[in-house]
Amino acid sequence: MNSWSRFNVTSIVLGFAFLYLPIVLLIVFSFNESKLVTVWGGFSTKWYVSLFHNQGLMDATWVTARVGVISATVATVLGTLAALTLTRYTRFRGRVLFSGMVFAPLVMPEVITGLSLLLLFVAVGLDRGFLTVTLAHITLTMCFVAVVVQSRLVSFDRSLEEAAMDLGATPAKTFFQITLPVILPAIVSGWMLAFTLSLDDLVIASFTSGPGATTLPMKIYSQVRLGVTPEINAACTILIAVVAVGVIVASIANKRREVQRQLDERAAQRG
Amino acid sequence: MKSLGSIRRDFAPWNDPSAKPYIQFDSVTKKFGDFTAVNNLSLTIFEREFFALLGASGCGKSTLLRMLAGFEEPTSGRILLDGQDLRGIPPYRRPVNMMFQSYALFPHMTVENNIAFGLKQEGMPKSDIEKRVAEMLKLVKLEQFAKRKPHQLSGGQRQRVALARSVAKRPKVLLLDEPLGALDKKLREETQFELMDLQQELGLTFVVVTHDQEEAMTMADRIAIMDKGEVMQVATPAEVYEAPASRFVAHFVGNVNMFEGKVAERAANTTRITGATGAQIVVENSTESKAGSDIVFAIRPEKIKVSSKKPTDAVNALEGEVYDVAYLGDMTVYHIRLDDGQIIRASALNAARVTEDPLTWNDRAWVSFRPDAGVVLAR
């Protein structure tokens, strides 16, 4: 079989070029000696050095990290609770409405979410700043966590919980000793998803943030409007590296666990 | 002394009017919405009994077990355990433990932690837990597997871990939901006997739910045959097989031939039946056999003798033709089409390797049986 036909190779090259050419360009130019973004002036890491001396960018990074961690954590708790309710109490009144309302923000245009949150914060007299961005990001990411955790709970064997209760564990103990550890991987990936979403949100943050709480995407966007600098390229390259490392580590760990599991199961079948 | 079946049971508290019932279902009904899973059911189980609930899926047997475990509450009626009403007592406070069909082993815990789980909930001292876990591992012969996780075990090993975990707390009653359903045939047969030995050794009361009649017959002291939320018969395996209470039970357990007919004449010890198609059958008297009543005569295939010549001494002999023969190794099954059109199933044990003058397809043949070989049931 000729799997490396000209057609196949062309498709792969075109496809990957479409996906990764812009990112590769960005990374390449972050190492540019020249101040002009589109003219190659030789290799240099000076923009990375100057990046760490740019107080504005560093502050924005710190804000983004704190917003991300706090909102992802709160959203994970709320999203997990919503997922539990949706999978466990299948016969309460208004369940369809409730699940629809939990998942609506998934398809809601961000502009609308951002605008409505802004209106709310103004109406209740909440000053825009760190707190409002965090609250907005909880609203945004909670439903994503709910989806991830719910898909795990659907395949969760309820008899595990019954067995725990049968052996004398109260419902609370059953939840913390059995349910939670078993669905933990889904909760962790829900948290990571929420954190990533918070990290790269620009629209909602622009609506709900205030002075002193500028997030990294907002900072980058505002600087780009004054002209793209290689410093921004460097900041983006670091972001890409962080995300890429996270994804690669997670998938390797997953793969390892899966392979180990298969080996164990084969060994068990042999006796 | 004559008795039904071929074994003698010395343990029979159900025949002793002074025996104290251990588990009592007292007119229990369970409804799920409009569906009635268990319908006004009463049942008594005795201490140290190995009791089987046998029925097709959806007959309410699992619901009965889950009500005993506390996962469901009866819609009406009472369940008593050792004299105590179980209503309102949550599963984690009931002195019963259950072995689940899926085993429900905790995937994130090792074998020994799975077994220790219930003991920890009790607040048992650590040294005692270790001792009990070691004892349980020895009981199910899994000493070398203590540190393994469930996914590192074979199906049979998982089943034994589930068993060890459910008996570790020494419950008053052990409930087993299709305990051998996930095992292959050979392992299942071995495990049946292991379970019986274990029950004897621990002196526990076992209530097992199964759809496999062979499993129930092998293991249980008594079987409750269930259908549509009701108990059709509660009896020892031999009684269920040899003296089924109804057509349903006769059909459900094993194979059976049914002759529909009318009681023609009742004598001192025997009753003569005229079959719907004209056959004359003489059987032992029973409560059903009042003259003129419509009845069904049920007889098991192995109680019927097949021969190529008319038997001289048989009370009941009917003539026909061999319609089908199946050789199964330990026995041979004949389908005989009687001259009145009815097809009779008869089976013969192959006690000898060599058969003189064997029957084959389309041979003329006679079927014969004794007057006490079958039972008369109401139509």
pLDDT at B26: 95
Among B90, B97, B153, beta carbon nearest to A167: B97
Q: Which residues of B touch A178 (CB under 8 A)?
A: 106
Domains and CATH numbers, chain A: 52-230 (1.10.3720.10)
Closest-CA residue of B relative to A156 is B104
Closest-CA residue of B relative to A172 is B92
3-state per-residue secondary structure call for B262-320: EEEEECCCEEEEEECCCCEEEEECCCCCCCCCEEEEEECHHHCEEECCCCCCCCEEEEE
Q: Please name the residues in contact with B29: beta carbons below 8 A apart, sequence gap of 6 or more.
A: B36, B38, B39, B40, B41, B74, B75, B76, B77
pLDDT at A2: 60
| β-pairing verdict for B343-349 and B294-299 | unpaired
State the DSSP code for A97. Answer: H
CB contact under 8 A, B169 and A162: no
Q: Please name the residues in contact with B256: beta carbons below 8 A apart, sequence gap of 6 or more.
A: B244, B250, B298, B299, B300, B301
pLDDT at A264: 81
pLDDT of A37 over the 80 cut: no
pLDDT at B288: 76
Give the Cα separation of B263 and B180 in Å (integer).
Answer: 44
pLDDT at A210: 85
pLDDT of A196 over the 90 cut: no
Nearest to A60 by CA among A266, A220, A233, A256: A220
pLDDT at A223: 84
Give the Cα separation of A102 and A147 in Å (integer).
Answer: 9
Look at phi and psi of residue B224 and say left if phi exceeds 0, alpha if psi is from -120 to 50, else beta.
beta
- B359-B364-B366 Cα angle (round to 5): 85
Helix axes A55-88, A180-199, angle to 10 degrees: 140
Q: Nearest C-alpha of chain B: how many angstroms from A83?
A: 21
Closest-CA residue of B relative to A258 is B151
Q: Which residues of A touch B107 (CB under 8 A)?
A: 160, 182
Low-confidence ranges of chain B (pLDDT < 70): 1
pLDDT at B276: 79
Give the Cα separation of A99 and B297 in Å (integer).
Answer: 60
Identify residues of A whose CB sits under 8 angstroms from chain B CBs.
157, 159-160, 162-170, 173, 178, 181-182, 261, 264-265, 267-269, 271
Report for A51-55, A104-108, A180-184: range of highest mean pLDDT:
A180-184
Task: Kindly state the percentage of chain A with pLDDT values over 90.
Answer: 35
Closest-CA residue of A relative to B166 is A167
Among B70, B71, B169, beta carbon nearest to A167: B169
CB contact under 8 A, A157 and B97: no
pLDDT at A271: 55
CB contact under 8 A, B157 and A268: yes
Q: Nearest C-alpha of chain A: how many angstroms from B104?
A: 5
Among B102, B108, B152, beta carbon nearest to A267: B152
Q: Which has more confidence, A100 or B196?
A: B196
CB contact under 8 A, B118 and A268: no
Domains and CATH numbers, chain B: 13-95+171-251 (3.40.50.300), 255-378 (2.40.50.140)
Which strands form B230-235's sheet, in the order they lie side by side? B96-99, B173-177, B205-210, B50-54, B222-227, B230-235
pLDDT-derived band at A106 (thresholds 50, 70, 90) equals: confident
Fill in the amino acid letter for B262: K
- Partnered with residue B299 across adjacent β-strands are B257, B374
pLDDT at A46: 87
Closest-CA residue of B relative to A183 is B108
Q: Which residues of A touch B98 (CB under 8 A)?
A: 162-163, 166
Nearest to A231 by CA among A219, A241, A243, A242: A219
